[in-house]
Amino acid sequence: METIQVELGDRSYPIFIGPSLLESGEIPLEYFGVGKIVIVSNESVAPLYMPALKGFLGERDILEIVLPDGEQYKNLDAISYIYDRLLEAKCDRRTTLVALGGGVVGDITGFAAATYLRGVPFVQIPTTLLAQVDSSVGGKTGVNHPSGKNMIGAFYQPQCVIADTGFLKTLPEREVKAGLAEVIKYGLINKPEFFDYLEANSEHLLSLKSEYLVEAVKVSCQAKAEIVAADERETGQRALLNLGHTFGHAIETACGYGTWLHGETVAMGMVMAADLSVRLGQLELASAKRIRTVLEEKFAMTVVPPAEITVDKYLSLMALDKKTELGKLRFILLNSIGEAVIRADIETEVLKTTLLAGSGLCINHEELR
């Protein structure tokens, strides 16, 4: 078992990483408190892992809440349903909520924990690769609004994160690729040697070889933990973790939540961010080509966004992006592979060129010269 600490003073917490963690006996039960335990999961995950988790917890007072599966259910209706169940069970401030599922379950459960009785403890047990390397770490919780993704939420840290890489063996290939897009993101923003590693070992990662998965999750979590410790509430460098997300969130919202997986749209968004970086003279074309090749060929990801999204639709959705400050949209762009920067001075006409091209980078690249 690997252990990484998220350093946030008296709110610090560990991330436990490795296979078969619930069976190993290495996870201290103290992180689950002494009161009632409420496990929040969904219809796909609960049959697979609820029995093992309950066996791990032993003779505790446990309430199960099982939600429908899908991004389209990440809304205030789900939060209201959880509140109803907690109140019916007379859950108090000693209750610990446990998120057993992917990013949707983790975000919903975290937000419910942050707001029920003004805050109760919760534990993250992410069951997808994307959740293990991204959404379960850092304390971002929340739900979607029809006008924008993750627009309602709170920063609220868990007691611990248990990233059992054995859970990943049951993931559909599509979910694996979506998670790997977020893994690749860490290489692009500040770990070029990690990008090299991922490029060289794409076959092992796609085939879910244990030692490669553990390494990918460990490095990703360490990278995020360091940034969160320095900028918990995203006033500065934590925004770098949103590489590809401004474009990606717009695609998710435009197409309807659940049509595309979050990681799939992040892959599209990273290629679009590379495109814009080239147009601004920041990133070499060869590097942008390499990024696209790794995503599209090495990891077999879709990088071309849906053609039906108009430039005006992109711009209207981007205007609601959480990184917008004083009316100016901040983009995460690249100076090189391994060096991301925040920019808020992008001229609309240049941005429109990238939006019109979609992911045309390296196909119609003559116009970039």
Out of 182, 215, 252, 264, which one is annotated catalytic? 182
The residue type of 188 is L
Select which of 42, 242, 292, 298 is catalytic: 242
CA angle 75, 76, 81 (to 5 degrees): 110
From 140, 177, 323, 330, active-site residue: 140
Tokens standing for residue 56 = 């791990």
Q: Are 307 and 358 in contact (CB under 8 A)?
A: yes
Marked catalytic residue, from 74, 177, 185, 224: 224
Instruction: Tell which residue, 273, 289, 292, 263, has the closest CA to residue 339.
Output: 273
The verdict on whether 325 is a catalytic residue reads no
The active-site residue out of 71, 215, 232, 234 is: 234
Task: Count Cβ neighbours within 10 Å for each residue of 318-349 and write b for 16 or more, e otherwise.
Answer: bebbbbeeeeebbbbbbeebbebeeeeebeee
Q: Are 35 and 94 in contact (CB under 8 A)?
A: yes
Residue 1's SS3 state is coil
Q: Is residue 42 annotated as a catalytic residue, yes or no?
A: no
Is 242 a catalytic site residue? yes
Out of 118, 325, 367, 369, pick the active-site residue: 118
In whole angstroms, what is the distance from residue 107 CA to residue 121 CA? 14
Q: What is the spatial distance between Cα 180 and Cα 183, in angstroms, rounded to a whole number?
A: 5
The CB-side HSE value for 329 (13 A sphere, CA atoms) comes to 19
**182 is known as an active-site residue:** yes
Phi and psi at residue 83, to the nearest 5°: -55, -45
Which of these is catalytic: 191, 238, 292, 322? 238
Question: CA-based angle 12:16:21, to the nearest 5?
Answer: 145
SS3 149: strand
Whether 245 is a known active-site residue: answer yes
Q: Single out the residue of 100, 109, 102 nearest to residue 82, CA to CA.
A: 109
Return the H-helix or E-strand segment holding 291. Answer: helix 285-293
The question of whether 262 is a catalytic residue gets the answer yes
For residues 277 and 271, what is the distance between their CA atoms, to the nearest angstrom?
10
Cβ pair 238, 224 in contact under 8 A? no
3-state helix, strand, coil in the chain (%, to 5): 50, 20, 30
Catalytic pick from 191, 262, 298, 330?
A: 262
Can 64 be counted among the known catalytic residues?
A: no
User: Which of 185, 245, 298, 322 is the catalytic position?
Assistant: 245
Distance CA 333, CA 247 (A): 11
The residues annotated with a catalytic role in the active site are 118, 140, 182, 224, 234, 238, 242, 245, 249, 262
